[in-house]
Structure 1
Amino acid sequence: MNHSLSNIINARLQGRDGLYRISIGNGRFSDISAQTGFDDAGEGDLDAGGNLVAPPFVEPHIHLDAAMTAGEPRWNKSGTLFEGIECWAERKVTLTREDVIERAERTLALFADHGIQYVRTHVDVTDPRLTALKAMLEVRERVADTVDLQIVAFPQEGIWSFRNGKELMEESVRMGVDVVGGIPHFEFTRDYGVESVRWLVELAHKNDRLVDVHCDEIDDPESRFLEVLAAEALRLDYGSRVTASHTCAMGSYNDAYCSRLFRLLRKSGLRFLSMPTESLHLQGRFDGYPKRRGLTRVPELLDAGLKVAFGQDSIRDPWYPLGNGNMLRTLDVGLHGCHMLGMSWIERSLELITDNGAAAMDLKEYGIAEGMPARCVVLQGQSPYEVLLGQQPVLASVRDGRVLVSRQGQGTATPH
């Protein structure tokens, strides 16, 4: 059984010196006060032991309907995005409600063990039966006590390029998805891609849904759907509710084009998601040497004042055969791949797996502040640098004042 807390003591908070007592009442943070030294734990106290306490980790981009299917019915031998889509199309026809629910809940349990309490999952709706979507809508309710789950209607095989693609997207919105997705670079033509972006943003806007588009997940420098997405978001004043995922082609754009593009991006206020482990694996497959990294311009976007977060994208599926649910691993790879190991980047790096992901998910109540829901994780380390060095499992995960997971040192997790 989960048990409730009254206080988290001996806590360090990012950007503040010293130790803090974080008091909890009615499932919310009621008071945050400085301590003069280490306090002894009493009944109802969680001792952070001088470690950093942070908001829960956010997984803003995952495909739970495909999780744990690597090698089924065959392995992606080329390692390309497009063979992965072909493998998934073969696996998709065998989906059942029970199959999707079992794999999704197994993956979410893995996430919870690593301190993830917010998840956005893309669900393939290019399936006339909508089997995965129906199952994931059920999962969203089943896991509500441990995770906030957003569902994206994701047209894996296109909107204009898949028979009845528009109708399936509209039906998905009627069924209750939180987010409208797209994949313009996979549509048959550029015109189809442009039309799909304009249509999906309008669909989301009129139905009060968020937007998250697989945008330019390709090395082709001529794939420029990001400008279309940003222009539509700006036209509708919807930028804070629109996310551009991947934008890998930005790593291949020339600087003259980017100088114009960034002006539009700043005006639009789009959110950005980069999936470093998967992009490093999938992109650059058609290059000789030198090979491109296939990552978007993360530090440049951050310097422009835009919100960028990292996601895992896949957990053992046709696109990516690895994955363990540890966001610190994803953060580590992303910082390496984006040349962000300067100490100034490291010190603010946790925002890439916390606050910026929360912004992409448009979360209204998130963070460690008085009055906010009492949701947080206790990390192993006194600073972001120490946390990143160790990449150890969270010591505790707290949700609405209840302890979901706790550990002693680096031992085995103990669910409550």
Structure 2
Amino acid sequence: MSMKIVNARLRQKSQLHTLEISAGLFSQISEQDSVIACPEGAIDAGGKLLCAPFVEPHIHLDAALTAGEPHWNQSGTLFEGIERWSERKPMLHEADIRRRVLDTIELLVRNGVQHIRTHADISDPSLVGLKTLCALRDELKEKIDLQVVAFPQDGLLSFPNGMQLMEEALEFGADVVGGIPHFEYTRELGVESMKTVIGLAKKYDRLVDVHCDEIDDPNSRFLEVLACEALFNELGSHVTASHTTAMHSYDNAYCSKLFRLLKNSGINFIACPTESIHLQGRFDTYPKRRGLTRVKELREAGINVCFAEDSIFDPWYSLGNGKLLRSLDFGLHICHMMGYRDFENALDLITDNSARTLNIQDHYGIETGKPGSFILLDGEDDYSVLRKQGDVLLSVRQGEIIMQREPSRVTSGRYVLA
């Protein structure tokens, strides 16, 4: 299978480019002096932005499309969301999960996503969610990359047989070890859970992604434990701290000390802008906290951070549409990242940085020799795509088109004020 694309713009490049794909890999990428006529059988990018596919680094596919079943989260809190999910869990079965997961993946693919990390709740003796997601991962591997996190929603050490279920999940084939230290019964159990997660990652040679300090409590400081364990065990780039919303409530003196550890540890961060601003700050009157981790400061410190949706129509977040550009837009607003320098490379937060988090960077990106996978966006650069919330016009995976749409057009004439 071969493919040729002409008149494409690449990120951070001013010239138009021609790209060729052979045997599923980028075989040639060359600059053009000017616009060229599209050869027969080639794709004319028309000056639109061609970039690496979007990456969804943190979503809960097992819970997607379940909002209101059997009850709605009326308070909008994280903890009521967990309660509502506990009511839905007994209703889970393989066919139910398959239907919802496939519908959600289809939504993500239509919006340019080709790589997904999903959490699967293992606080369930049947492990039906995790087993179904692992099966779908293997079935869909030619169409999409899926990483499955063994996520102990109700606590690794506080839930009955939590450790046994975790090991069973890892032996079954989960790709990533998860944790939730702030939901353990005591701080001591939370600390122990972080040490345990790192130990399991070494034992099974897996990645780590922890729901860490997803709370407004400034005294929730399990991040320092996770980062320290990652540093001492030399696992930094394989470890991710998701959410870390308590960091928004930490004082600056503590953060100045913490950031030294975070930088040295080399761990990754995932922020979920729409969900965090919705769930956090629920116990505040005024002033209300934004409840999102310190994305701008992490980025300025050279620490890898990316954005995710987290949920699509589930007990924690009743909206969501599979559009990572929406999450990016929200995140930049919430984090006061609205300077032009922030816009120039904004897509990093849903592409390259996310690929680093998933540890797929060696086979991701627009470079010769790498898989011929890309998306074409309705815009000319990061800024114009972000400002226009440009559509994903084309998604190509290893030289094969998996999604294509026509650009939106307005056909009516000019409006004239009477």
- Quickly name the TM-score band, shorter chain normalised: over 0.9
- Tell me what 2:109 maps to: 112
2:366 maps to a residue whose letter is I
Contact (CA 8 Å) 1:112, 1:146: kept in 2 or not?
Answer: no
Contact (CA 8 Å) 2:391, 2:407: kept in 1 or not?
Answer: no
- Aligned-residue CA RMSD (Å): 0.9
- Tell me what 2:398 maps to: 400
- Tell me what 2:131 maps to: 134
Deviations 1:41-65 (A, max 9, x none): 2233111110111100000000000
Deviations 1:146-165 (A, max 9, x none): 21000000000001110000
Q: Gaps (5+ residues) in structure 2?
A: 410-418
Q: Gaps (5+ residues) in structure 1?
A: 412-416
- Tell me what 1:410 maps to: 408
The alpha-carbon deviation at position 350 of structure 1 amounts to: 0.2
1:252 and 1:128 map into 2 onto residues whose CA distance is: 36
Displaced runs of 4 or more, over 3 A: none
- Tell me what 1:49 maps to: 46
TM-score (ref. length: structure 2): 0.97
The one of 275, 279, 297 aligned to 2:276: 279
Is residue 2:201 matched to residue 1:204?
yes
TM-score (ref. length: structure 1): 0.97
Deviations 1:267-293 (A, max 9, x none): 100100000000000000000100000
Which SS does the other structure have where 1:278 is aligned? helix
The one of 21, 37, 40 aligned to 1:24: 21
2:268 maps to a residue whose letter is R
Contact (CA 8 Å) 2:12, 2:381: kept in 1 or not?
Answer: no
Contact (CA 8 Å) 1:326, 1:393: kept in 2 or not?
Answer: no
2:27 maps to a residue whose letter is S
1:46 and 1:410 map into 2 onto residues whose CA distance is: 18
1:206 and 1:278 map into 2 onto residues whose CA distance is: 33
The one of 257, 265, 271 aligned to 2:254: 257
Is residue 2:93 matched to residue 1:96?
yes
Deviations 1:381-409 (A, max 9, x none): 00111101111320100100001111221
- Tell me what 1:231 maps to: 228
1:129 and 1:380 map into 2 onto residues whose CA distance is: 44
The alpha-carbon deviation at position 40 of structure 1 amounts to: 2.1
2:407 maps to a residue whose letter is G
Is residue 2:31 matched to residue 1:34?
yes
Alignment of 1:15-414 (within 5 A): 15-363=12-360, 364-410=362-408
Stretch deviating more after TM superposition (21-30 or 401-410)? 401-410
1:367 maps to a residue whose letter is G
Deviations 1:15-41 (A, max 9, x none): 111100011111000111011221222
The alpha-carbon deviation at position 5 of structure 1 amounts to: 4.5
Deviations 1:294-325 (A, max 9, x none): 00000100111111000000000000000000
Which SS does the other structure have where 1:119 is aligned? strand
Stretch deviating more after TM superposition (287-296 or 142-151)? 142-151
Which SS does the other structure have where 1:404 is aligned? strand
Which SS does the other structure have where 1:229 is aligned? helix
2:377 and 2:235 map into 1 onto residues whose CA distance is: 35
Identity of aligned pairs, percent?
56
Which SS does the other structure have where 2:120 is aligned? strand
Deviations 1:105-148 (A, max 9, x none): 10000000001000000000000011111111111122222210
1:387 maps to a residue whose letter is V
Which SS does the other structure have where 2:259 is aligned? helix
2:41 and 2:183 map into 1 onto residues whose CA distance is: 53
1:399 maps to a residue whose letter is R
Which SS does the other structure have where 1:250 is aligned? helix
Contact (CA 8 Å) 2:16, 2:34: kept in 1 or not?
Answer: yes
- Tell me what 2:416 maps to: none
1:95 and 1:44 map into 2 onto residues whose CA distance is: 47
Contact (CA 8 Å) 2:2, 2:23: kept in 1 or not?
Answer: no
1:392 and 1:110 map into 2 onto residues whose CA distance is: 16
Alignment size in residue pairs: 408
Which SS does the other structure have where 2:43 is aligned? strand
Question: Structure 1's 379 and 5: CA in aligned 2 closer, same or farther, altered over 3 A?
Answer: farther
1:55 and 1:304 map into 2 onto residues whose CA distance is: 24
2:397 maps to a residue whose letter is R
1:7 maps to a residue whose letter is K
The alpha-carbon deviation at position 104 of structure 1 amounts to: 0.4
